[in-house]
């Protein structure tokens, strides 16, 4: 009986030590030192930089982890790869922040809606209804088929929509600036 007790005690000590080692070997899933692969269908895969030995972009693309296992990814399905550096992006809104249906002003006291989708498409409830959007300098920039451009940006705890008429760029002064509110935020 004593031998069994000693064996169980030793096993428990080994398990506790091993679990502590494994816990420190892998960074937390929410660690900011990650690479985020966004696929064309909108889903995302986050990879901890500490676990990756290399990325091979030949066909098929392969992620080689430090522990030796490999993961194949079809490069044709990748929309973009983001490198999350904690000093640069901490506290700044990312792409997922802007997804959803936004109520915005038209500059004349009326409101309309802009919907930003994960695939980069955009819709609005007035004018030419189709456009595309991307994240540039921590703001959603929308280019509409009718030549207008809109930017939605976070300003403190609120959001603004900046409108640029046809012929103007995002570097010009906006034609109007109104409040923006996400009525149904979406996440990827």
- Sorted by where each starts, the structural domains of the chain and their CATH numbers stand as 27-89 (2.30.30.100), 95-182 (2.40.128)
The pLDDT tens digits for 73-104 are 877 777 777 765 544 445 567 788 899 999 99
Model confidence band, residue 125 (pLDDT cutoffs 50, 70, 90): very high
The pLDDT, as a whole number, for residue 186 is 58
**Higher-scoring residue by pLDDT: 168, 73:** 168
Give the model's pLDDT for residue 26.
39
- Say if CB 103 and CB 111 are below 8 A apart: yes
Residue of higher predicted confidence among 186 and 157: 157
Residue 60: asked if its preceding bond is cis (omega within 30°), the reply is: yes
Residue 69 has pLDDT above 70, yes or no: yes
pLDDT above 50: residue 173: yes
- Residue 2 has what pLDDT? 55
Is 144 strand, coil or helix?
Answer: strand
Query: Which is higher by pLDDT, 103 or 36?
Result: 103
Q: What is the pTM of this model?
A: 0.52
Banded model confidence at residue 58, pLDDT cuts 50, 70, 90: confident
Q: How far apart are the first and last CA of the chain?
A: 56
- Which range has the worst mean pLDDT, 58-62, 67-71, 105-109, 120-124? 58-62
Distance CA 61, CA 46 (A): 16
Instruction: Please name the helix (run of DSSP H) or strand (run of DSSP E) that holds residue 86, with its range, or none.
Output: helix 86-89
Highest mean pLDDT among 28-37, 51-60, 69-78, 142-151: 142-151
pLDDT given at position 1? 52
What's the pLDDT score for residue 95?
A: 82
pLDDT at position 122 is 96
């Amino acid at each position: 009986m004593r031998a069994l007790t000693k064996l169980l005690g030793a096993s428990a000590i080994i398990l506790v030590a091993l679990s502590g080692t494994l816990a420190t070997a892998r960074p937390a899933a929410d660690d900011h030192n990650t690479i985020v692969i966004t696929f064309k269908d909108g889903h995302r895969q986050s990879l901890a930089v500490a676990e990756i030995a290399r990325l091979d972009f030949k066909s098929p693309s392969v992620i080689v982890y430090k522990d030796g296992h490999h993961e194949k990814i079809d490069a044709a399905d990748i929309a973009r790869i983001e490198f999350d550096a904690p000093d640069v992006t901490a506290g700044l809104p990312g792409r997922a922040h802007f997804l959803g249906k936004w109520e915005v002003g038209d500059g004349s006291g009326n409101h309309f809606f802009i919907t930003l989708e994960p695939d980069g498409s955009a819709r609005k409830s007035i004018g030419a209804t189709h456009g595309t959007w991307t994240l540039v300098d921590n703001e959603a920039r929308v280019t509409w088929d009718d030549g207008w451009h809109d930017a939605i940006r976070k300003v403190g705890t609120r959001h603004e929509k900046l409108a640029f008429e046809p012929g103007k760029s995002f570097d010009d002064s906006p034609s109007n600036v109104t409040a923006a509110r996400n009525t149904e935020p979406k996440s990827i």
